[in-house]
Amino acid sequence: MDWTADVVNDPSRDYDLCVDLWEGDQHRATIFRSPEGEVRLKVYPSSDKAMEVPAHWLIEVLQRAERDIGQDSPGDPATGSKLEA
């Protein structure tokens, strides 16, 4: 199954930028910036099987998230950003 990462606005966090991680059509995790400014990964449990995430892809996504959502002026979220595994 292909993995993708989409930079989006999070309505539950005052529309701050976050990165949604998808395995095919399944939303598997979100990378977000905590109120303390720390970039965090929230993983959604999968009851059907264990998740296997390509490590090199996840490292690249986390590094991009640190850069893109870990700063005060991340740019224009309307343009979006997608990274595929």
Say if residues 53 and 43 touch (Cβ distance below 8 Å): no
Average pLDDT of 79-83?
A: 54
What would the pLDDT profile of 3-12 be if each residue is shown by its tens digit? 999 999 999 8
User: Residue 83: what pLDDT?
Assistant: 58
- Tell me, yes or no, if the pTM score tops 0.85: no
First to last CA, the chain: 9
Which has the higher per-residue pLDDT, 81 or 25? 25
State the total domains in the chain. Answer: 1
Token pair listed for 14: 């005052």
